[in-house]
Structures are given as C-alpha cells and as structure tokens.
Amino acid sequence: MSTTVPFLLLFLGVLACEGANPCCSEPCENRGVCTTVGYDSYECDCTRTGYYGQNCTTPEFFTWIKYSLKPSPNTVHYILTHFRALWNIINNIPFLRDAIMRLVLTSRAHLIDSPPTYNSDYGYKSWEAYSNLSYFTRTLPPVPEDCPTPMGVAGKKELPDVNVMAEKLLLRRTFIPDPQQTSLMFAFFAQHFTHQFFKTDMKKGPAFIRAKNHGVDLSHIYGEELERQHKLRLFKDGKLKHQVLDGEVYPPTVSDAQVDMHYPPHVPESHRFAVGHEAFGLVPGLLMYATLWLREHNRVCDVLKTEHPDWDDERLFQTTRLILIGETIKIVIEDYVQHLSGYHFKLKFDPEILFNQRFQYQNRISSEFNTLYHWHPLMPDGFHIQDEVYNYSQFLFNTTLLTDYGISNLVESFTNQIAGRVAGGRNVGRAVLMVAVKSIENSRLMRFQSLNAYRKRFNMKPYVSFEDLTGEKEMAAELEEMYGHVDAVELYPGLLVEKPRPNGIFGETMVEMGAPYSLKGLLGNPICSPEYWKPSTFGGAVGFNIVNTASLQKLVCNNVKGPCPVASFHVPKVRDSVLSTINASTAHSSQKEVNPTVLLKDRSSEL
C-alpha cells in the first residue's frame, strides 16, 4: 500500500495536467467517496468507513482487528460447503442455527445501501436519485464522462467490439453442464421469479424500470397495473380467471381476459394464454410456473373461504396475495438460494430473526443486480420433454406443450434435465447470445465501473491479472488483448468468464454480489416486518401455516392431478441431458418452425 499511494498521486498529477477528472482513478479506497475540488484536485470522504487518511487507506484500530480476524469470502464458502457432519448437528440446534442465519442475513444485507444513493444520471447523492422510482438505483456511481478511458484510467481508450468479444469469450462451443447439477426447473424459476422486478423500460433506456414496486409483489402473476389485475380477476371468492381443460385448470385466453400479451401471429387464439406478465407466453417453462401459481392462488382462496365464509371477494383476494408472497419468499430462500449456495448449513426463512436488528423494510432494485442476473448459460441447446427433444424454434411460443404434456410431465422433465454452468466462459448458447450482447451494450450506456471496482465494493480482493480472473491462459490472453489491463474488464463479461468456484455454477464475484441484493430484497419485503409478520395478516393460523410450510415440492403436489412428480432445483439423477447423443433436429413438434433470433430480437430486455 505504501508504494501504491505515491504512484497514484503522481499519476493523478499527470491527469490533472491533461485536464482529466481526478476521481477517474478511483483514488478513495474502502468505500470512501471521491469529490473533485476545483479542476485538478479531489478529496475523499472517509466518514464511517472505518478508515482515514487522504485516500481512506489507513484502518482505525478496531477496523484493523476486525479485518485481521475476518476470513475471506472463499474461506467462508469453503467452511459452509464442507464439514457436513458438523453442519448437520448445528442445523438441529435452533439457537445456533438462528444465530448463524442472523449473521448471514445481516452481513449480506448491510452491503446494500438503504436508502439508495445513485442512479445512472446522478453520480452523486441527490433527492432525484433517492425519490425517482422510475430509475434503477446504482450501487456504484457511473464512470465520469470526462475520463481518459471508458473504465476511468485503466485499459485502452476504446472498449472491445461487443460482438467479437461475445463470439470469442461467451459463445458456447460445447454445452458445459453445471457441476452443482442445477435443473431446468431452477432455470425457469429464476426467469419467472425475477421478472416481477426486472422490468427495464426500454422506451426510456436501460437505466429505467417499468415496475411500480421494487421488490417481490407477484406482479408477474397479478399484473403490474390495477387495470390488468382487474381483467385477470374472476371477482368471485377472491379467485383469478381460469379455464378447465381435460379436468385441469389453466390460465384464461387473451380473448377472455382482454389483456395485452406478446404472441406472434402463428399462435392460435385458443392457446394465447393470459397471465400477469405480458411476455410469459414466450417460453413454456414460464407458463408452467404461471399456471402453478394461478392454481395455488385459487386453491388458497378456497381454504380461506372455508375458514372465513363471511369474507367478501376483495378481502379473500388481497389476503391470498399476501400468502403467495410469503410462499414465494419461503421457497426462494429455503429451496432456491439453498440450492445455489451449496451450503451444508440449512438456510431458514424466519423474519423474526431480524426483529432486534437495524434493518429497513424497503428495497430498490439496482441496475447492477438487473445486469448480473442474466444467467443465459443455464439454457441448454434443446429441451427434453418425456421422449422428445425440442430445439428453440420448436420451443419458443409453443404453448401447446403446456396442454399436450400437462404440468406434471413438464415438471418431471425440467427437473430431470441439467442446466448449464454460468461462470467459466464460452457457455452462452447461440440462440440467446444476442441477449448477452445487449446486456453489455446497456452496461456501457450506463457507464458501469469495472469488475474489480465492484469486487472492492463487496469486500473482495481485486484480481491482479487476467489469469487470476479466468484461472486459465487462453481466455486470459484474449482478455488482455481486448482490454489491456485487468482493471478495465467490464462487469458483465467479467462475471461470465470468471473462474468458477470448485464444483460451482458461479464464480466468487457473482455470489458475493448477488447474495446481498437477493437477501436484502427478500427480507426487506413489508410482509417480513414486525407490523406484518403475524397470523392475522395471512387470515389467521391456517394462512400463516401455508406460508411457513411452503416448498417447491408442496407447490407442485398441491396443484397437479394424479401422482406428484419430483420437483427439484437439483437434478435427482443426472443422466445424459447434454444432447450429445440425441439429435434435436429429429424432434417432433406440431409447432410451426420460426427463427428464434427474430422472436427474441425485440424481447431481450424481458429475458
């Protein structure tokens, strides 16, 4: 550190002579805030960082003690993913499990600024950045526009051609299955769940969000606008509109609900299903989940109607929505995040754990969170349903799959097909490559800081070389030729080429960034607050029990006919699902073949 600071100050002096913004070099360490002073100087605000000095590099005594004893993120991950016997003991001791869960939640959630601080148009604190909910918030301010290079001071004066980079570093050569054995059931859940709050307003630009609420509100089930919600409601016994086909409940048609949905002309009117999110007709996996939640809503309404025969339609509907929000958060934490983490420690959804902690029950979606969640390497090259394999042109907008196979068979098939590894590079399928390209282009428009800047912001050591980032030589050499310096590697490409953790789906940065956003958003939901988290909110003990016993398996079993299939985010028994032995072109489908690139072209922000 002693040699770095003088060099940095000397370099800033050179930049000042050239008229550059001295904050471009990110001189303030440890979350210190850089402010320019005149045209050629700067100052660092080290308030409450635990550090002091010109660049916030000198630790206070207790900060030094804390970080001297604190294990690295990779060490913590290793401990949590090993020593199964020890964790089995801890998981069965309630006060120990609660204490560790409290530490997990607070240590993660406190990394997210609340209230929000920046957006893409305000790289400094302002009332506009705080109050204008039409923006995604920002964790780090944009790179100043008057910097020597696009990433501040590091790297080349021009960023690499995005299409060339995507072809060389992101495009799949051969499908790489996830070593954590993540299933397509997980992949479609991720897509379905996140699109209630990842709603980029592309009319305004990638810095703007269409969602009225920055969190888990189930608008992808009930509709964003009140008008759409009303069109989807039956207005009887609290239920949603539906149709019954072959004895099973499915979403209503567009003609019945009279809501806007994005379907191409070749989809017949009878199979244009209407759900909360207008783009969910794109993929049968999304409609599968939409149908399960529709059935669950109407099932819970029946439970509440039996318990409260005096309640009117509106109260039944509103209380059921709160119950489903609770079920969703429970499933996300105890099934979805549990699987992703790979922890032997058993995560627990219990809002009371935080009631005595400093915690704010509000949330704003950040543009960085929106960007990092583009996990398209999860998608395989073809989709196995029973004995058939569907390629993209046969799968997209093929709503007949929903009724031809039924929800139970889709659940079984998607549970048994393995998803792709996200980290490690070269695993984005050709059919969805354009979405990754668009993500990088949008990141550039919003002037995201570098991967290393975000690593420092989330308490990770910056990578010191390209090989340190990728863990191998070939892609490291490609990156070096493109960027010139490891500090210039962009956030999203860096996340996809980063070396995966051992036997992991992600690299370190994706997990250490994504987990704080996720847990803050989930536990920051109003239903988790002391005012809401009580039986009366959910219609009494019966409704509260539905929330507290929710699981993915239970969601499926309560809402399919006949024997319940295994529903899991983890493939129960890995089989050959890489399509190496099955030619997808021989698959049978009644769906008219269309170009998936054309279908996806205007919908990249929705994926």
pLDDT at 143: 98
Q: Is the pLDDT of residue 14 over 80?
A: no
- Let me know: does 271 contact 289? Beta carbons within 8 Å: no
Q: Is the pLDDT of residue 576 over 60?
A: no
Q: Is the pLDDT of residue 601 over 80?
A: no
The 10s digit of each residue's pLDDT in 305-331 is 999 999 999 999 999 999 999 999 999
Mean pLDDT of 493-507: 97
pTM for the predicted model, two decimal places:
0.92
Which residues are tagged catalytic? 195, 373
Mean pLDDT of 64-72: 95
Whole-Å CA distances, 260 to 225, 227, 279, 290: 12, 11, 9, 16
The 10s digit of each residue's pLDDT in 503-553 is 999 999 999 999 999 999 999 999 999 999 999 999 999 999 999 999 999
Q: Which residue reads 């318990």 in tokens?
A: 307
Phi and psi for 209 in degrees, rounded to 5? -120, 140
pLDDT at 582: 34
What is the average pLDDT value for the chain, to the nearest integer?
92
Phi and psi for 570 in degrees, rounded to 5? -120, 130
- Let me know: does 165 contact 482? Beta carbons within 8 Å: yes
Percent pLDDT > 70 in the chain is 91
Sign for the pseudo-dihedral over CA of 118, 120, 123, 129 = negative
- Three-state SS for 2-66 is CCHHHHHHHHHHHHHHCCCCHHHHCCCCCCCEEEEECCCEEEEECCCCCEECCCCCEECHHHHHH
- Quickly state the pLDDT bin for 485 (edges 50, 70, 90): very high
End-to-end Cα separation, the chain, in angstroms: 43
Mean pLDDT of 371-393: 97
Phi and psi for 398 in degrees, rounded to 5? -90, 75
pLDDT at 202: 87
Q: Which residue reads 């809501």 in tokens?
A: 259
Whole-Å CA distances, 105 to 270, 325, 350, 541: 46, 19, 11, 26
Structure tokens at 242: 């539906």
Q: Is the pLDDT of residue 6 over 70?
A: no
Q: How far apart are CA 298 and CA 450, in angstroms?
A: 47
User: What is the residue type of 324?
Assistant: L
Q: How far apart are CA 59 and CA 53, in angstroms?
A: 9
Sign for the pseudo-dihedral over CA of 315, 316, 321, 325 = positive
pLDDT at 376: 96
DSSP state of 540: S
Neighbouring-strand partners of residue 250: 243
The 10s digit of each residue's pLDDT in 274-288 is 999 999 999 999 999
The 10s digit of each residue's pLDDT in 89-122 is 999 999 999 999 999 999 999 999 999 999 999 9
Phi and psi for 175 in degrees, rounded to 5? -55, 125
DSSP state of 598: H
The 10s digit of each residue's pLDDT in 120-156 is 999 999 999 999 999 999 999 999 999 999 999 999 9
Angle between helices 184-194 and 284-307 (to 10 degrees): 70
Q: Is the pLDDT of residue 591 over 70?
A: no
Mean pLDDT of 367-377: 97
The 10s digit of each residue's pLDDT in 423-475 is 999 999 999 999 999 999 999 999 999 999 999 999 999 999 999 999 999 99
Q: Is the pLDDT of residue 580 over 80?
A: no
pLDDT at 20: 80
Mean pLDDT of 215-231: 97
Q: Is the pLDDT of residue 588 over 90?
A: no
Structure tokens at 579: 């399509």
Per-position b or e across 206-234, b if 16+ CB within 10 A of its CB: bbbbebebbbbbbbbbbbbeeebbebbbe
Q: Which residues contact 48 (CB under 8 A, 6 or more apart)?
A: none
- Let me know: does 48 contact 113? Beta carbons within 8 Å: no
Structure tokens at 361: 């029950």
pLDDT at 212: 82
Q: Is the pLDDT of residue 579 over 90?
A: no
Neighbouring-strand partners of residue 428: 171
